[in-house]
Amino acid sequence: MIILGIETSCDETAAAIVEKKDNTISVLSSSIASSEELHKKSGGIIPEVAARKQVESIIPVIDDALSVADLKWNSIDAIAVTYGPGLIGSLLVGVETAKTLAYTLDKPIISVNHLHGHLFVNWLGDNKPELPAVGLVVSGGHTDFVKIDKNFEITYLGGTRDDAAGEAFDKSARLLGLSYPGGPAISKLAESYISTVIASEAKQSNEDGHSANRRIAMTKLDLFPRPMIDSNNLDMSFSGLKTSVLNYLKNNNVGVDPRLRGDDKVAYIAANIQEAIIDTLITKSMFAIKEYKPKSFILSGGVSANSRLRIKSKKVLQKMNEDLKFYVPQPQFSTDNAVMVATTAILKNNPIGWKNIYANPSLGIEE
Ligand code: KG4
Ligand code: ZN
């Protein structure tokens, strides 16, 4: 079975060809165009700009996916497309393109929920996460815990009450004068801060006052609060983080100035922002595992590209239960892509006619 996947829910235009053969799901091609550079100038996504860029990119991206896979249209069994949630203008470009292709080529369509795509990309290759699983989708718009039961049924368990974790990265990064998207920018600075501290400690085995201070700062990294971390549920809140960062900047005369990029102090603040978010996500993941006792834990969504989150959560969660299987996509399949759409379509395998698909910007995670 060979599927063409199309993803246009936000600022990425993506197409991919994925094949299922002998019970293994393989990627034949994955092509992505992003309007990220345009959004860097505005410091965030402007929906109208994103949609216009989708229109420009969609045909070249599909063409590229087919040519890299070295396939002709007659080899494609179905066209999978994200129908929600996302920005309506962006979603429509993918959905209408998929409909047109399905109609003219007489192929079935498989509609895919973007959030399911993030979760089910973990079934790539020979991976078959044992169910029931607990999944965490952590992206620019969502921070949701779900239970995945057999037949891939999804039940919402809890999540953020306000901003998503990715949004918290993006908004805090903006305060530090870092460019959009903020997650990778903060993560890069945080990693440099952490490795500098470790290197300096290793060098000074004869610990002096200075290195001791830095070690303490690194291990604690608790400049910013973790709201709701002790509540006995999966509720989270990230909207206060940007205010805490702003207050810290004001009180410490750091100033909000792009020229501070790369500065030690900014790297230290970035490491603290990252830690506040990661700590919250991991503490809540531990609660979910205690409460629901899943066989697998699935970390997914753009923020799951964060290397400290990947490493720390695997370590902490498997320490709680060494039989727990931990899954996270390769970083290029954590952020938006079309491989996740085609893979989900293979698992769902419910083709429909081109007349029966509509873009739904507010599609829920259980739908
Ligand atoms: O899933 P995604 O690509 O798009 C949505 O569906 O929202 O997620 C994008 C989010 C952005 O907020 C971005 O800052 C964040 O994922 N992100 C990261 C990293 N890479 C992307 N956050 C933290 N660390 C990263 N390495
Ligand atoms: Zn996404």
Tokens 């608790």 belong to residue: 222
CA distance 122 to 229: 27
Testing ligand 1's pocket by substitution, the residue of 113, 144, 169 carrying the most ligand atoms inside 8 A of its CB is: 169
Distance CA(297)–CA(293), nearest Å, equals 10
Q: Whole-angstrom Cα distance, residue 294 to residue 149?
A: 10
Ligand nearest to the CA of 7: 2
Q: How far is the CA of 140 from the centre of ligand 1 (A)?
A: 5
Which residues does a 6 A CB cutoff place in the pocket of ligand 1?
10, 139-141, 166, 169-170, 181-184, 187, 301-303, 305-306, 335-336
Divide the 367 residues of the chain into consecutive groups of 10 and give the mean pLDDT of each group: 97 97 97 83 84 95 98 97 98 98 97 98 97 98 97 97 98 92 95 82 65 66 94 97 93 58 77 97 98 98 98 96 97 98 96 96 98
Q: What pLDDT score was predicted for residue 258?
A: 43
Cα(349)–Cα(341) distance, integer angstroms: 12
Cα 188 from Cα 84, distance rounded (Å): 30
Neighbours of 135 (CB within 10 A): 29
Residue nearest to atom 23 of ligand 1 (CA): 183
Which H or E element spans position 326?
Answer: strand 325-327
Per-residue pLDDT, 208: 63
Atom number, ligand 1, closest to the C-alpha of residue 170: 14
Separation of alpha carbons 318 and 326, rounded Å: 8
CA of 282 from ligand 2 middle (Å) equals 20
Dist CA 33 CA 8 (whole Å) = 10
- Ligand closest to Cα of 340 equals 2
* Residues β-bridged to residue 17: 4, 29
Q: How far apart are CA 168 and CA 326, in angstroms?
A: 25
| pLDDT for res 41 | 76
Q: pLDDT at position 196, please?
A: 82
CA of residue 18 to ligand 2 center, whole Å: 19
Contact 139, 159 (CB under 8 A): no
Task: Supply the pTM of this predicted model.
Answer: 0.94
Residue nearest atom 16 of ligand 1, based on CA coordinates: 302
Q: Which of 159, 165, 154, 10 lies closest to 82 in space, CA to CA?
A: 10
Q: Write the burial class of residue 283 (CB in 10 Å: 0-12 exposed, 13-18 middle, 19+ buried).
A: middle
Q: How many helices (H) and strands (E) does the chain have?
A: 12, 10
Cα-only R_g, the chain: 21
Q: Which tens digits make up the pLDDT trace of 95-109? A: 999 999 999 999 999
Ligand 1, atom 2: nearest CA belongs to which residue?
A: 302
Nearest to 270 by CA among 197, 181, 173: 173
Give distance in angstroms: CA of 141 to centre of ligand 1. 9
Ligand 2 center–CA 301 separation, angstroms: 6
Helix (H, G, I), strand (E, B) or coil at 32: strand
Please state the atom number of ligand 1 nearest to the C-alpha of residue 118: 1
- The closest ligand to the CA of 183 turns out to be 1
Q: What is the pLDDT of residue 205?
A: 54
Q: Given the CA of residue 277, which atom of ligand 1 is nearest to it?
A: 23
Neighbours of 337 (CB within 10 A): 25
**Owner of token pair 């902490």:** 316
Q: In one letter, which amino acid is 39?
A: H
Per-residue pLDDT, 263 = 60
Question: Helix, strand, or coil here: 76?
Answer: coil
